[in-house]
Amino acid sequence: MRYFPVFLDTQSLHCLIVGAGEVAARKLELILKSEAKVTVVAPYICNTVAAYADHPQVTLLNRRFEKEDLVTADIAFVATDDEALNADIRKLGEEYNVLVNVVDNTPLCQFITPSIIDRSPITIAMSSGGVAPVLLRYLRQKLESVIPANISLLGRFSEKFRDKVKHTLNGVTARRYFWEDVFDGDIAELVEKGQADKAEAKFEQALSAAAQDNQITGQVYLVGAGPGDPDLLTFRALRLMQKADVVIYDRLVSAPILELVRRDAEKIYVGKQKSHHSMPQDQINELMVSEAKKGNRVVRLKGGDPFIFGRGGEEIQVLLEHGVEFQVVPGITAASGAASYAGIPLTHRDHAQSVTFTTGHLKNGTVDLDWSALASQHRTLVFYMGLTGLPIICKKLIEHGMRPDTPIGLVQQATLPEQRVLTGTLADISDNPATATMQPPTLIIVGSVVSLHQQLDWFTTTALN
């Protein structure tokens, strides 16, 4: 390790910046995120730097650099296009015991500035030693995507209770385990969502239980896994999946998404297929309650969105009855995913001004829907779980006024590499031999928007006609 990472206390730090062009302006803006005093010296001052003339932390000196400028400085950034001057200031820095950074000239730098993710009081700094800045930006983007925007709230929360935990729990190991549980659990989620009062109440309860070696009730997260492509998961869904103690998942949750679940989490399959339930719904409800009562963080992972044909409402009612706390994390519903990846816009000014989501398989096993309402013009229909009832759906829509040549599309394994799309009309789709090869999960889209599939299909699919 050539460059040793150090965080400097900036409350009494004096920073000198030599140069006042746009490059220097970027350094000035970065330093002003701290509490340091900054002196900028340059014969020419650009508009960006000049805008900070009245800033209480900034002193602007509109003249050439003098070596005495280093006398009161602790660190210095040199951002001029005069290479000889840059080298001279670097040597003067050694004479005056001032650490010097010559911007974009690593060999002349006594220190380098890292790539920073600022979530004060949480600050993450990364460096490549100046050899791979593009790779560093790439890694920073990755971290930015997984670190919650409100992690700063969690940092302040930890600061508030740090001494209390220290005095309540004996031993470094006990305190470490306690804080890990807090950061991995629902208390942290409440803090990051700005629900400080609830978070503090649960924190006090958890700390008391830890002091008495008692166990408290866990929490259930109803998480939408989206239509299948793991890239379509929300950041929050991914974080919770990686925090979970127990994951209860459906058949529609794809294998690539399951790979993202925390490695040591218990994974319980409760998938449903037509006429065959791996686990009846009432047993799923009991399982969620019992696992939460054990103190586990339970993720109920559902394909699509929990509140769109996902029985999320039914499951929440049971959790409420048993006093189990819960949160809901929406996901991209199958209709949106399938339509987008098949190049079928659900609404379009020339085709459909509204869209209706409905199920092709009712609770009693029938396909007895309000066909008159569904068959209205200028509307897109999306049928979930309708593959078996496809002939009935087509027949009833025609009987209630839809034109037999109305376009219809079947989208199987939407958003995944195995996606297949079959298009036709209400009159001929059921008789197409390719229809018999379609397998669940398949979504049915009805309406003139389906006619846009050939033109707008951007995703590599197996297209059937």
Pairing assessment for the beta strands 272-273 and 276-277 based on DSSP bridges: antiparallel
Residues in the chain: 465
Judge contact between 28 and 50, C-beta under 8 A: no
Question: One-letter amino acid identity for 332?
Answer: I
Residue 54 known to be catalytic: no
Phi, psi at residue 220, to the nearest 5°? Answer: -110, 135
For residue 32, give the nearest of 120, 94, 96 by alpha carbon: 120
Choosing from 193, 198, 267, 272, which is the catalytic residue? Answer: 272
The token pair that represents 139 in the structure block: 């890694």
Judge contact between 58 and 16, C-beta under 8 A: no
The token pair that represents 76 in the structure block: 């210095």
Please state, in angstroms and as integers, the Cα–Cα distance from residue 27 to each residue in 34, 86, 402, following that order. 12, 16, 65
Choosing from 69, 184, 250, 305, which is the catalytic residue? Answer: 250
Residue 272 known to be catalytic: yes
Question: One-letter amino acid identity for 381?
Answer: L
Q: How far apart are CA 167 and CA 174, in angstroms?
A: 12
Q: Which stretches of 106-201 are assigned E, i.e. beta strand? A: 115-119, 122-126
Question: Which residues are marked as active site?
Answer: 250, 272
